[in-house]
Structure formats: C-alpha cells, structure tokens
Amino acid sequence: MLEDWANLALDTAAVRGATYADARAIELRQRELSTKNGQVGTLVEGESLGLGVRAIADGAWGFASTDRLTKTGVERCAAEAVAIARASALAKRHDVVLAPEESYVDTWQSPFVKDPFRIPVDRQIALLLEADAAMREVAGVTLAEAGMTFRRLEQWFASTAGSRIHQVKMQSGAGIVASSFAEDELQKRSYPSSFGGQHALRGYELVEDLDLGGNARRVAEEAVALHKAAQCPEGVRTVLLDGSQVGLQIHESIGHPIELDRVLGMEANFAGTSFLTLDKLHSLRYASEHVTVVADARLEHGPGLGTFGYDDEGVPAQRTYIVKDGEFAGYLTSRETAAAVGEKRSNGTMRAESWNRLPLIRMTNISILPGPWKLDDLIADTEDGLYMETNRSWSIDDRRYHFQFGTEIGWEIKGGKKTRMIKNPSYSGITTEFWNSCDAVCSRDFWTLWGTPNCGKGQPMQTMGTGHGASPARFRNVRVGVAFSR
C-alpha cells in the first residue's frame, strides 16, 4: 500500500506540471524506555504513517506532506507540492539543476538478529532496573539512570525518473549514567558513551552485547571517585583521546563543516555555516598525514546510524574521501549542490527525519580510518600527557573553527604509564591546527563505529542519527584545562 500511495503522488505531480518529483511513504515505529533511581522514568511507544512529496516546477522546489493516506489526501498533497514550487519560482535566483543519477528498482534491509519490538517491555525494563540497582549499590551515587531506544523505519521511495526503492531500517540503542553530587560539584560517568550510550543499525542483540549490568558498578565507582581526584592541570600538553571522544571531535569539527549546503549558504540552522569555502578543496592541509577520514554509508563500513542502501533522493550509498592523508578531499553533497559545484554525481547524503520533513544533507558515517598503534603501546610511547575519555560538553563556533570540549574523566600519563585520575578535563583549539597535531591513531582492534542519534539541523528542526568510526588517537601541543563541573 505504501508503494501505491507513492506512485499516485508522482502521477498527480506530473499531471500538475512538475518536471521532476519524488515521494517517500514511511511507516515509523519507536519505543523509548528509561529508569531513574529504581523507578520507571519513561515508557513511550508510538507509530507514524505518512507521505512526503518533493516537486520541481518552473525551476523551483516545492514540498508537502500528509498523513491522510486516501486517494484524495495523496492527490491534494502532491498538488500542493507543485503549487508551492510555482510560488517559490517567483523568488528564485536560478533554476534548480540536479546532477544526473540512474534509476533503481531495489529492496534493502539493515541486518539484525532480534527484533526489539518482539521483546516484552517488562523484560527490557527489568534489564534497566538491574543496571540501575547495581549503580545505586555504590555509596555516593546520587542518581542512577538507564535507558533504551528502538526505531523501525520502513520506506518506499519513488521518483518520476523511474526509481522504486523499498528500505527497512532497525535501530537500537542503550546506555547507563551514574551521577554523584557532593560539595557543590557534580561528577558523572557514562557507559558505553555519554548522551544515551551506543546506537547502531542492529536489533536487541546490541543491548545484550553491551552488558549494562556488568558495567554498572565500575561506572558508579568512577563517578564517586572523581570527587577525590585532582583537577586537570592547565597548560599545553600531549593529549590522548578515547575513541568515543575522537568520534565527537569528528562530528563537530569535520562532519558539520563538510555539509555543502552550509558551505554554499543554503542552510545555517543549529550548526551555523562553515570555514571550508570552495577554494580549500584539494588545497587545504586539514590534518596530518596520519589522518584519513571517509564518509561511508555502505553496510561494509558497519551498521552505523549513517548506513543505508539509498539516500532520500534515491542515490546509492557510497564511500567518499573527506580527508586523505591530511588533505581536504571532499564534501557531503546532494544532487542539487553537486551540480552547483560542477560535480558529476551526488555522493548520496540527503536524508530526512520522517515523512513530514524535507531531506537535507546529513552526515552518514564520518569515520577516521584506523592506524597501526595498540593503545598500550601508544600510552607507553607518551612520556608526559593526559588521557581523556567520554564526552561531557562541547562548544564550537558557528563556522566550526574554534572549539572547547570537556570529558567526564581523565588520567595523567607519566613515563609511559597511566597514573592518577583527574577530574573536569577539557581541551581547546582551532580545528585545522588540532587535526594537524595528530601523530598517532590506534588500530582496527580499538576502532568502534559510534552512533550519535541526536544531531539537529534545519528549521523546523530534524533530529538525525549519524555514525563515527574512531579509535583512540594522540594529539601534540594541545591546550588543556578545567571544565565547569556544576
């Protein structure tokens, strides 16, 4: 039935005079569970079904959406998209031009073992309460939190160019947080990462693999121990970042500035514009020769939140070099922006949160490729430095150039060994100077494809999942200090 509604929308748009149109019919199911200090905090499940239509008429875009999936409702939606395009054409600067793309008829599904929506809710809550209780067994824990989220999206994409694409994506995520408040200071530790934990295109097996209960006590003990830890020293030091923090660094200082709609001034909401003007492509030394970053939406890269078969313009998933051996090598593009800068083809990064949102250029899996180092060897090779783990805060300017990030915990490194724990660590820098200071990246054995489920962009805002493959890395001559901890 979803396919039928998409086809009807295209027929209507064509009759109304659209020179191009595409339609996305989407059925979405979501579940969110959480506990706080032994009580159920959130228990929400919802479903959504609707259709979004894009159309080009008189050389301009129009978009409309509806949840009234009847013949009349779909025809009215498609007609509205064309009418909006004609109205937009009155203020256009030039006609919309799309980079060419073949048509595809295909089906794609993200692999998973256990459907989380077939796991009883009481069983999922029991697992969260078990981890919650284990954290509260540690004296000094003020707040114990645990959570899970699941999302299933089924989509039919159809275009007047002849594409007919069916995709099903299953997304799971889970994590725990222990917080300790004492003497006007708040300390927290998260597992497996902050801001919701780990998220991936997997089923309930992801939650089981994380072993939240088995890590709960360690997380709680570290949160309490941070109160007695020394403050992070201030100055210029060698810094080692754990993989999840490298992933956040990639997200903010590489992922956002390479979105070509930001570069061209077509989009600036929530994350600003970009310092990566077109003249910098293939001329900017973005990072050291140890750094290669790719945008990779293919399943071969891993089941990340930026993994799919086709983007929301019907362009197949691809791998694109963003930084190659330190040189700035590529942007994230759509069919329209690719044509605007003379590229022959979009690299397939247009995605929308749901049927009622217009597709935007979004990060796929923006990942640093592994290096040769083992983590223990990298620490042993560092005479004097700081190891920082798990993001706590981030701040970066609206051109993605000056930044300051804080982590939950750190350790000093002296004589090649991790020594005392430090609290409230932060580091700051300038994007290109920081990435050029990288002199070592750990190997595939330490590489994880982290999921960031809450990236905001657009107006009205769209929250999208992105992936960031990363392993621990070392950076020289970085300014460090104390982050705010209240």
Q: Helix 121-136 crosses helix 212-225 at what angle (to 10 degrees)?
A: 30
Average pLDDT over residues 37-64: 97
Alpha-carbon distance 92 to 94, whole Å? 6
Within 13 A of 102's CA, how many CA atoms are on the CB side? 5
Q: Which pLDDT score is estimated for 267?
A: 85
Q: Which pLDDT score is estimated for 268?
A: 78
Tell me: pLDDT of 195 over 70: yes
Q: Which pLDDT score is estimated for 484?
A: 58
Name the residue ranges covered by the structural domains of the chain: 2-228, 230-482
| pLDDT-wise least confident of 43-57, 257-271, 342-356, 394-408 | 257-271
Average pLDDT over residues 307-330: 98
CATH of domain 2-228: 3.30.2290.10
Q: Which pLDDT score is estimated for 381?
A: 98
pLDDT in tens, 19-43: 999 999 999 999 999 999 999 999 9
pTM of the model: 0.96
Mean of pLDDT over the chain: 96
Average pLDDT over residues 97-115: 98
Q: Which pLDDT score is estimated for 482?
A: 87
pLDDT in tens, 323-374: 999 999 999 999 999 999 999 999 999 999 999 999 999 999 999 999 999 9
Tell me: pLDDT of 258 over 90: yes
Express as a percent the part of the chain with pLDDT over 90. Answer: 95
Q: Which pLDDT score is estimated for 485?
A: 47
**99 and 68 Cβ atoms separated by less than 8 Å:** no
